Structure 1
């Protein structure tokens, strides 16, 4: 111990904080994983926290908890001192989150209430969340105070405990949209039927982010599509005034994997009022739908004269992974190839087609890939050879 102390002191004089860290790591541990307390060792560790760079502070932050509860008061002093560098204060707050003690909780709570620095308050909220169940009562109290409600909500959202969720439900209709968003996002990650009515209500929230999180959350209940009538609930959001919401609704509806959902998506796709960006999302959603109906709708889209929509449709058909639909997708693309579409004159379209057949790897595509090996465009020939090889490999698997 004396030898370690001497080396650590020498390194401190040389401001070699990496060496000080190394010396402190050599300290023996007691049965409870703590370091035998010595005031000098603790002071050396705090010196590294004070003067070290980020990496050196990161390393000493792993060692300081070994000193037990005695380290709490000096860490609180650092956390509360506005004259101290912000990075050091953040590290102090993070370390305090490892101590499930009233004194540590009170200090972190005070930081949430009084600090005006967003980074520091975020660290304090995360530290409180790290304490888990013991911090719930404190955080629930902070929900009652407007100035600390948002950060308390963020901290509670990280604690997966029934009491924390109950507290969050008290602010699900808060006037702060950010708070409502956090609550809906959190509820969406929990498999509990009790929260479904809350998620459904949030679909009509005035805030875009709240509506988006509600759509994402309800989309995770697609195994109850019929019981909840999710298609009926989500369809109005396809006509939302915000394009991002429309796109999120299309994604969620596509993953319902029903023919009715596919029909709904295609109906919106056909509307002249639907912008091209949403139409492209609807094409992807139809592919995710993975039904015979959705493939038929994608087949119809291939009659479009818009190259961007054609390329996206060919691309998603080539990425079909459901075994019984891969052959059908291959045939859809073959039908398009044999049509008289002017788009087939585009080398770009032809390359996408060949790549799609290669990805699908279905033997049926050989009938067109073999002749394309002799195409007068070198890049087309190379793509055809690669796709044909893939089809042959797949047939042998």
Structure 2
């Protein structure tokens, strides 16, 4: 059921196009309001919205007629029009709050209208708005409405923290659901005032809640948090361990003080593959040179799954140091089916472009390459990598590839030489 908003009393015919409206004796704001009224009488909500958007702030605020028009557009317009008028309604001020609260809490209203109003309430930093949104969460009558209410509370931010924290009450009827929603809101607010309520949930029985808490706490540099994150590296839930790894890998500044590399290294061999992958990629954020031999050990193990090896290769490419490049190039001599991947990683080097290009050329001209699986693919990737690295000294090596028996290798070599802006010989 849609709320029927009373039609305006004034019955004006639709004015001429906007370009002809302004005249010295007819101020544009007044004409816009008259035009909006006439457009509403004809159900032309896009025109109503355009007119209201053009009204100055002093004509919008505390104006019952404008409020009436805005609510009509909200409740009778289509989705696109609802989104447009939703940007205007908060400018009306507190006069709009009570009608919005009435709509939001009316279970007989169309859900789509309540969704639209729920989003708008996030722009009202008022106790009544916060209380209404909390009530929607507690009722949990519609998943989308609940989700919109959580987003609106997160938008309100710090003024909503106390009310959201109250959702953590373990005696509530829907306690587990409310805790999960509360964590989502607190995590999105991203303010230090959320640390205390989040800490209450660090040992929650629900692993998803523990995961969300760790993800939120990881963004704060509170001295209590790193030790708590370390304790979660042994959590029984893989998602929790993964979240702890990701959060700790963002604290390279504490790597030496907390001996983080030794604490994280066992996670590279975790029983859960996703934990291993997150650890490998996370360690790539650290400038510590001792990370490379740790990753090299994982890459060189015959017990390492291919997905983890791919993640380690990617991580070494991000590290982009000469030892990391050497580790990647050494992988090419192991007859691994992942042979093209180290080449791609080396070819994306930024800091060590010249070194990377020399290592690729050296491999291209070495006897090892003959034993490489998928030889043509490897040569193609080397040609592409050399083109990306931009070292003109590699052009002679690329020219040698122009005589390769494989058409695709010759094509990639020609493209690389062209990228290096060098003349291409036949």
242-251 vs 353-362, which deviates more? 353-362
Q: Distance in 2 between matches of 1:364 and 1:40?
A: 74
Report the TM-score, using the length of structure 2 for normalisation. Answer: 0.84
Q: Distance in 1 between matches of 2:232 and 2:416?
A: 47
Per-residue CA deviations over 1:81-111 (Å, capped at 9, x if unaligned) read 1222222111212222222222212111111
Q: Distance in 1 between matches of 2:238 and 2:41?
A: 57
Give SS of 2:189's match: coil
Match of 1:124 in 2: 149
Give SS of 2:69's match: helix
Check the 8 A contact 2:335/2:373 in 1, yes or no: no
Q: Distance in 1 between matches of 2:159 and 2:200?
A: 19
Give SS of 1:283's match: helix
Q: Aligned-pair distance for 1:390?
A: 4.3
What is the aligned counterpart of 1:11 among 26, 36, 39?
39
Check the 8 A contact 1:251/1:285 in 2, yes or no: yes
1:372 aligns to 2:397 (yes or no): no
Q: Distance in 2 between matches of 1:103 and 1:344?
A: 68
1:84 aligns to 2:113 (yes or no): no
Q: Aligned-pair distance for 1:4?
A: 4.5
What is the aligned counterpart of 1:280 among 301, 310, 317?
310
What is the aligned counterpart of 1:172 among 202, 207, 224?
202
Check the 8 A contact 1:257/1:291 in 2, yes or no: no
Check the 8 A contact 2:104/2:117 in 1, yes or no: yes
Check the 8 A contact 2:105/2:136 in 1, yes or no: yes
Match of 1:262 in 2: 292
Check 1:41–1:257 CA distance in 2 against 1; reply closer, same or farther (3 A cut).
closer
Per-residue CA deviations over 1:33-78 (Å, capped at 9, x if unaligned) read x724333332221111111111111111122223221211111111
1:28 aligns to 2:56 (yes or no): yes
Q: Distance in 1 between matches of 2:48 and 2:223?
A: 54
Check 1:5–1:259 CA distance in 2 against 1; reply closer, same or farther (3 A cut).
closer
Q: Distance in 1 between matches of 2:119 and 2:373?
A: 61
Structure 1: gaps spanning 5 or more residues: none
Match of 2:386 in 1: 357
Match of 2:239 in 1: 209
How do 1:23-62 residues align onto structure 2 when only pairs under 5 Å count?
23-30=51-58, 35-62=60-87
Check 1:304–1:45 CA distance in 2 against 1; reply closer, same or farther (3 A cut).
same
Residues paired across the two proteins, number: 387
Q: Distance in 2 between matches of 1:37 and 1:181?
A: 45
Give SS of 1:40's match: helix
Q: Distance in 2 between matches of 1:264 and 1:294?
A: 11
Match of 2:271 in 1: 241
Structure 2: gaps spanning 5 or more residues: 1-28
Q: Distance in 2 between matches of 1:194 and 1:228?
A: 13
1:309 aligns to 2:338 (yes or no): yes
Match of 2:321 in 1: 291
Match of 2:226 in 1: 196
Q: Distance in 2 between matches of 1:63 and 1:164?
A: 31
Q: Distance in 1 between matches of 2:160 and 2:61?
A: 28
Report the TM-score, using the length of structure 1 for normalisation. Answer: 0.89
Match of 2:17 in 1: none
Match of 2:361 in 1: 334
Cα RMSD for the two superposed structures: 2.3
Give SS of 1:226's match: coil
Q: Distance in 2 between matches of 1:179 and 1:105?
A: 23
Q: Distance in 1 between matches of 2:373 and 2:269?
A: 33
Q: Distance in 2 between matches of 1:2 and 1:363?
A: 68
Check the 8 A contact 1:28/1:36 in 2, yes or no: no
63-72 vs 51-60, which deviates more? 63-72
Check the 8 A contact 2:118/2:152 in 1, yes or no: yes
Runs of at least 4 residues off by over 6 Å: none
Q: Aligned-pair distance for 1:25?
A: 2.6
Per-residue CA deviations over 1:300-319 (Å, capped at 9, x if unaligned) read 2111223x311001111111
Give SS of 1:203's match: helix
